[in-house]
Structure 1
Amino acid sequence: MNDLEDLPEKNKIFESDIFIKILTSPREAFKFINDYNYEKHLYILLFLAGMLRSFDRASTKNMGDNYSIWAIILISIIFGGLFGWITYYIYSALISWSGSWLNGKGNTESILRILAYALFPSILSLIILIPQIAIYGETMFKSENDFYSSGLVESVIYYGFFIIELILGIWSFVLCVIGISEVQKLSIGKSILNLLLPAILLIFFILILVLLFKLIN
């Protein structure tokens, strides 16, 4: 790979605008990240992505039923931020492994870099999370909430946040497809398959284990 210090002047300017380029010219940005092993913001992105995933799990697991809002925040920041990256590392390794069946070229580290930067739009939803917590508190993490029966203004605010988060999530998925296409040197179709294969394989192995357990018993 090329040395980042040997970049031409025009690419040094591009380096300072990496996140703008990811949003406006993702293929060019991911090529830059892959060619130069660029990982200046890698660890902070993985930390924030781990936090986001932890907050999402807190919501789906209804942690508000058993924990205060401050406990949920601390758990998400400390455990999600510090250990959440492990999930993405494992996922990157699985993408590299399954991608080899499709003649993919990227290794675990190169895929992890791409995923970290591709998750940037989703990470932005952490900004939206601040007013949500301020408005709803631990209610947004409880199994029983009154979002659906709230007044018009509260419902508009709630669904407005939801739509923004959904758009950012879809945007990140699109960037992941483009990034995997670049690092693995695959078509868009194969890149989508490469992203889904680890989940498909996991479900397949779980089904096999369930069937074996039933046969044994």
Structure 2
Amino acid sequence: MNEKMNPWLSVWVKPRKTMRYVIETKSMQYMLIVVLISGVIDILDKASNKNLGDSFALPLIILMALVLGPLFGWIGWWTSSGISYWVGKWFGGQGSFDDLRMAFAVSYIPLVLLGVFWIFDILIVGAALFTEAPEVPYSQIVWLIIRSIISVIVGIWSTVILINTVAEAHRFSAWKAFATIILPVVVPVFFVFLLFMFI
């Protein structure tokens, strides 16, 4: 591939071409940085959703994210990539395990860029971000609403990107990629549902 690309920009509109470019030109260490940062952001998101600020001070929450985030991000990356590598083979996928790791890492790029908003979140709202019933002024509420809308849009688009990067890694259709991603989620839920039906 002769076309030079900036994955941080091109992934938004050309996910499959970006994926192929990354496989051919970028090292695993380069993508590992994306994975570790995404892990920090994921911990911050979970801390906010679980209202950890009701039990822990803001500096401790940030420290937990910086320490645990990269570890859990790395574990989740390997696990998700391994499952998609294995399931994708059922559909005739040709990607290697390293290709699938690249695919997931590339799909994390929008989430890492979204993580920049966390800096503004903490500066604008502070510890109230992590509490169950935050008392914040109207201006901060407006900011949180805008931030939530952007997060939903980026989250949906990240899923679209993941489907395309997995499709490119395995060199098959987006529909097969969708099945590769969704089956490991749907099948266990289905069996748990059947289990409860017969208990």
Is TM more than 0.5 here? Answer: yes
Partner residue, 1:170: 156
The structure with higher relative contact order (CA 8 Å, sep 6+) is 2
CA deviation after TM superposition for structure 1 residue 146, in Å: 4.0
In 2, the alpha carbon distance for the partners of 1:77 and 1:62 equals 18
Code of the residue aligned with 2:168 in structure 1: it is: E
Instruction: Spell out, residue by residue over 1:4-46, the C-alpha distance to the aligned partner (whole angstroms, 9 max, x if none).
Output: xxxx7x45xx16x332332343221211223457435211101
The answer as to 2:12 corresponding to 1:26 is no
Partner residue, 2:61: 72
**Secondary structure at the counterpart of residue 125 of structure 2:** helix
Partner residue, 1:203: 189
Partner residue, 2:51: 62
Does the CA contact (< 8 Å) of 1:118 and 1:175 recur in 2? yes
Are the structure 2 counterparts of residues 126 and 46 from structure 1 closer, same or farther at C-alpha, using a change threshold of 3 Å?
Answer: same
Partner residue, 1:189: 175
In 1, the alpha carbon distance for the partners of 2:105 and 2:112 equals 10
Are the structure 2 counterparts of residues 71 and 171 from structure 1 closer, same or farther at C-alpha, using a change threshold of 3 Å?
Answer: same
Code of the residue aligned with 2:172 in structure 1: it is: L
The answer as to 2:113 corresponding to 1:127 is no
Code of the residue aligned with 2:134 in structure 1: it is: N
**Secondary structure at the counterpart of residue 20 of structure 1:** helix
Unpaired runs of at least 5, structure 2: none
2:40 to 51, 75, 80: 51
TM-score (ref. length: structure 2): 0.87
In 2, the alpha carbon distance for the partners of 1:71 and 1:123 equals 21
Partner residue, 1:91: 80
Does the CA contact (< 8 Å) of 1:64 and 1:140 recur in 2? yes
Identity of aligned residues (%): 25
In 2, the alpha carbon distance for the partners of 1:186 and 1:105 equals 8
Code of the residue aligned with 1:21 in structure 2: it is: S
TM-score (ref. length: structure 1): 0.81
The answer as to 2:142 corresponding to 1:156 is yes
**Secondary structure at the counterpart of residue 134 of structure 2:** coil
Instruction: Spell out, residue by residue over 1:123-177, the C-alpha distance to the aligned partner (whole angstroms, 9 max, x if none).
Output: 1111101111112222111122246xx52x3332111111122222222211111
Specify the structure having the higher radius of gyration (Cα): 1
CA deviation after TM superposition for structure 1 residue 206, in Å: 4.2
Partner residue, 2:94: 105
Q: How many residues align?
A: 199
CA deviation after TM superposition for structure 1 residue 103, in Å: 1.8
Does the CA contact (< 8 Å) of 1:50 and 1:82 recur in 2? yes
Instruction: Spell out, residue by residue over 1:56-87, the C-alpha distance to the aligned partner (whole angstroms, 9 max, x if none).
Output: 11112221111111111010111112332101
In 1, the alpha carbon distance for the partners of 2:142 and 2:171 equals 43
Unpaired runs of at least 5, structure 1: 1-7
